[in-house]
Amino acid sequence: MADKKDQKITIVYYINQFFGRIGGEESANVGLTVQSGAIGPAMAVKEFLGERGEVLATIICGDNYFIENENKVKEEIIQLVKQYSPKLVLAGPAFNAGRYGVACGEICKTIQDELGIPAVTAMYKENPGVELYRKHVAIVKTANNARAMKTAISQMIQIGEKLLQNEILDPEEDNYFSKGVKRNYISDKTAAERAVEMLVNKITGKEYRSEIRLPEFEFVPEPPPVKDLKNSIIALTTDGGLYPKGNPDKVESAGATKYGKYSIEGIEKLNSTEYEVCHRGYDNSCINEDPNRLVPVDVMSDFVKEGLIGSLYPYYFSTTGVMTNLENSRKIGKQIAHELSKGGVDAVIHTST
């Protein structure tokens, strides 16, 4: 019987409309298509695998179309993959494209769960697909743009080959986002000896590697307290996606890239007939019934009347938090903060879901 390493690696590759050479954002609504052989990034597979591998087909789908027709598209992809019977499925790299990353992660997870075929994708660390799918799928770490395409694809293939050989992956060695799985192994040193050895190496500047990686969080300094609320201007912001009817600024329902600014001057209570939620991350029926539950204009107006605060800023700011990556979150936050600072706002009440 031939060794698995000697068998040809057959691949089905998934890409979006941009890398499929259909078009950019204006083509994000194109439906699912499949072409025999390698298209776009899939063409690099031959460079890395040579005669050892072959891309049987390239599946292409618009980012918007996938998000809006997820169940239908997944079922179609399952049938296509069954038809070609590949040994491996690759998707992306998605880099920092949020909708593309979500599609790649969901497709890889679905293929693994439904068909038992190994699947690999690749993304930048701030892509929302990373946190959504890292526990389920091998996601190669990439830079935030397509300049790192060849490197990402070569690492996807390396991981794919290891999965086909049932080899154990290592997040550090294989450059993918850890799934948080801890494995037991036999060591010739006790835990105390290993801990002391790591400590000595750290103190002396030598290379060391912790057996358990702790999460890293950005430090946000605590702001000073408001000294005089009775003479302060307070503003309202939310990432719960509350907008005037029709969502005039077309803020995305997930993976937001912008925010909306809306006047509440002279308004003492938000009316459900004039506002609505556009947000895919929670059951927003109660907010649609009473928008003040998310943006508490009614309570803040009472506070102004009672003299508890000086005044309510005449605009509220709204965006969508779900699946919005850190880079866009920082950008939106800085823009809102700049406006509030110009408006002389002393404090902000930010509501979330």
Which residue ranges make up each domain of the chain?
4-174, 229-351
Task: Provide the CB-side half-sphere exposure for 233 (13 A, CA).
Answer: 11
pLDDT at 5 over 60: no
Report the alpha-carbon distance of residue 10 to residue 47 in Å, rounded: 14
Q: Mention every residue, 6+ apart, whose C-beta is less than 8 A from residue 255.
A: 98, 99, 102, 128, 320, 322, 323, 324, 325, 328
Reply yes or no: is the peptide bond before residue 215 cis, omega within 30 of 0. no
Report the alpha-carbon distance of residue 322 to residue 230 in Å, rounded: 34
CATH number belonging to the domain at 4-174, selected among 3.40.50.300, 3.40.50.2300, 3.60.20.10, 1.10.3720.10: 3.40.50.2300
Amino acid making up residue 271: N
Closest CA to 177 of 213, 203, 231, 230: 213
Give the confidence band of 214 by pLDDT, cuts at 50, 70, 90.
low
Who wins on pLDDT, 186 or 248? 248
Tens of pLDDT along 149-193? 999 999 999 999 999 999 888 888 889 998 877 777 788 889 899
pTM for this entry: 0.60
If you ran DSSP here, which 8-state letter would residue 176 be given? B
Least confident of 127-131, 139-143, 313-317: 127-131
> Which residues partner with 315 through β-bridges?
263
Report the alpha-carbon distance of residue 350 to residue 237 in Å, rounded: 5
Give the confidence band of 2 by pLDDT, cuts at 50, 70, 90.
very low
